[in-house]
Amino acid sequence: MDYLKKLNKVIPSGAHTYSRAHDQFSSNTPSIFKRGKGAYLFTENKKKFLDYGMGLRSVGIGYSEDKINRAAFEAIKFGNNLTKPSHIELMAAETIIKNFKNIEMVKFAKHGSVAVTGAVKLARAYTKKEYILRCSNHPFFSFDDWFISSTNFKEGIPKSISRYTINFRYLDVVGLKNLIKKYKNQISCLVMEASTISCPTKMCCMKFPCKNVSSNNTFLKKVEQICKENKIVFILDEMITGFRWDLKGAQHLYNISPDISTFGKAIANGFSMSFVGGKRKIMEVASLKNSKKNNFFFLSSTHGAEMVSLNAFIATFNFYKKNNVIKKNKIFGQKLKDGFNKISKDLGLEEVISMEGLPCSPVINYNFGDQALKLKTFFLQEMIKKNIIIPWISISYRHGDKELNKTLSASFEALKKIGKTLKLKKNLLIKGESIKPIFTS
Ligand X SMILES: Cc1ncc(COP(=O)(O)O)c(C=O)c1O
Residue 260 to residue 227: CA distance in whole angstroms: 12
Q: Which residue is nearest to ligand X (CB)?
A: 112
Shortest Å distance, C-beta 5 to ligand X: 26
Nearer to ligand X, 102 or 113 (CB): 113
* 79 vs 437, beta carbon nearer ligand X: 437
**Shortest Cβ distance from residue 347 to ligand X (Å)?**
32
Q: Nearest approach, Cβ of 137 to ligand X (angstroms)?
A: 12
Identity of the residue, 106 or 116, whose beta carbon is nearer to ligand X in the bound complex = 116
345/58 Cα distance (integer angstroms): 32
Q: Which is nearer to ligand X, 53 or 264 (CB)?
A: 264
What distance in Å separates the CA atoms of residue 417 and residue 395, rounded to the nearest whole number?
26
Backbone torsions φ then ψ of 381, nearest 5 degrees: -60, -45
| CA-based torsion, 80, 86, 88, 93: positive or negative | positive
Separation in Å, CA 270 to CA 61, 69, 246, 264, 316: 9, 11, 18, 10, 10
Strands (E), 89-208: 105-109, 131-135, 165-168, 187-192
Question: What is the smallest separation between the CB atom of 322 and ligand X, expressed in angstroms?
Answer: 26
**Chain Cα centroid distance, residue 37:** 21
- Measured from the CB atom, is 107 or 411 closer to ligand X? 107
CA 141 centroid distance within chain: 9
- Closest to ligand X by CB, 18 vs 42, is 18
Q: What is the contact surface with ligand X in residues (CB under 6 A)?
A: 111-113, 116, 140-142, 193, 237, 239-240, 264
State the minimum distance, in angstroms, from the CB of residue 238 to ligand X: 8
Question: Least separation, in Å, of the C-beta of 251 and ligand X?
Answer: 14
Minimum distance between the CB of residue 372 and ligand X, rounded to whole angstroms?
21
Nearest to ligand X of 123, 415 (CB atom)? 123
Give per-residue burial for 394-410: e unless 16+ CB within 10 Å, then b.
bbbbbbeeebeebbbeb
Helix ranges restricted to H, 359-424: 372-385, 401-423
Closest CA to 241 of 232, 228, 254: 254
